[in-house]
A and B are shown apart, each in its own frame.
Chain A
């Protein structure tokens, strides 16, 4: 889902960068206000987790590959705006250091995987979980569904960005200038892979990740975390 340079016209890539600037600015403000100091290391680990999980390429029928992103897990644990920053940092490092995803395409990639995905996943999770507590089976199911839908909506926005290039940007002789297949083909290919394989894996990663974090660090996630005095004294000391 990492769009390389050249697949999007500059007329598409640059506006996405322009859209991400205010998004990142809101994300910074939200994180400043809402993320607790003790959650900062979790965001750092979470961003590194997202980076690493994207390296687990899954083989697709037909010889292609796809991967999970981890953005919905971060959104459930820390909120969608913190997830936005964490995944964006991971994507920018992937582009600069590993050549995975384009430089000019950073805006579009951060929009798809760093904004659309955690936002959609977060609200699907809230909706499905309802009033059940974080430790319920229903919450785990909600996390799985949220991961599945979050990744697939991100795949859909990516496919649409790809596909519209074909329709909007063609040379005088009618050959495509950038992405070379119509929307129908892009959506078909991207969605079949993500609906059938990468999506279920994202759901699994989200649910198992949530279960792991809430069994090892129950205080981090408890509904009433704003009121609870967590027992780890060193953390309390850090706060004072």
Chain B
């Protein structure tokens, strides 16, 4: 798993370390505004949207960061790298287990 594709794992690791570059773009993507931003961006909160927006509040690393640990760029960057590590590990792990189930 790790030995046969060492260079691919290394490349993934480099991407994870560089991930805070993604924080430079601080703006929210089109159509992804949070309820708190809608008032400012759109001027009102559509009724149905307001009802459904809080459907999932259990994301442990919401917005790819540690809650309350975003006072500086360094803190946000640390949370971001941690999120990238956790996310990449989870995705690779689940994909491996899934493939094993499918292939065996």
Interface residues of B, CB < 8 Å — how many?
66
- The binding surface of chain B is classed by DSSP as helix
Query: Does B91 lie within 8 Å of A6, measured CB to CB?
Result: no
Known: A28-B102, A98-B64. A189 touches B4 (CB 8 A): no
Chain A's nearest CB lies how many Å from the CB of B12?
A: 6
A124 close to chain B: CB less than 8 A: no
Contacts of B87 in A (CB 8 A): 48, 51-52, 55, 90, 93-94, 97-98
Q: A58 CA to B23 CA in the complex, in Å? A: 9
A128 at the interface (CB under 8 A from B): no
Question: Which of A44, A99, A232 contacts B63, CB < 8 Å?
Answer: A99
Q: B47 within 8 Å of A by Cβ? A: yes
In the complex, the number of residue pairs spanning A and B with C-beta atoms less than 8 Å apart equals: 213
**Interchain CB contact (< 8 A) of A41 among B5, B27, B34, B58:** B5
A residues less than 8 Å from B58 (CB atoms):
96
Confirm or deny: A116 has a beta carbon within 8 angstroms of a beta carbon on chain B: no
Q: What residues on B are CB-neighbors of A178 within 8 Å?
A: 46, 48-49, 52
Q: A35-B99, A52-B12, A98-B63 are contacts. A64–B30 as well, Cβ < 8 Å?
A: yes
Residue pairs across A and B with Cβ atoms less than 8 A apart, 21 shown, are A2-B32, A3-B31, A4-B31, A4-B34, A6-B52, A40-B99, A44-B95, A47-B92, A52-B15, A57-B23, A60-B25, A64-B29, A67-B29, A90-B87, A93-B94, A99-B62, A100-B63, A103-B55, A177-B47, A213-B8, A232-B4
Instruction: Taking A44-B1, A52-B84 as given, write out 20 further A-B residue pairs in contact, using a Cβ cutoff of 8 Å, ordered by the A residue number.
Output: A4-B32, A5-B54, A7-B31, A35-B103, A40-B96, A40-B100, A45-B9, A45-B12, A55-B83, A57-B25, A59-B25, A64-B27, A65-B28, A97-B60, A98-B87, A103-B56, A162-B31, A179-B46, A180-B42, A190-B30
| B interface list, Cβ under 8 A from A | 1-5, 7-9, 11-12, 15-16, 19, 21-32, 34-35, 42, 44, 46-56, 58-64, 80, 83-84, 86-96, 98-100, 102-103
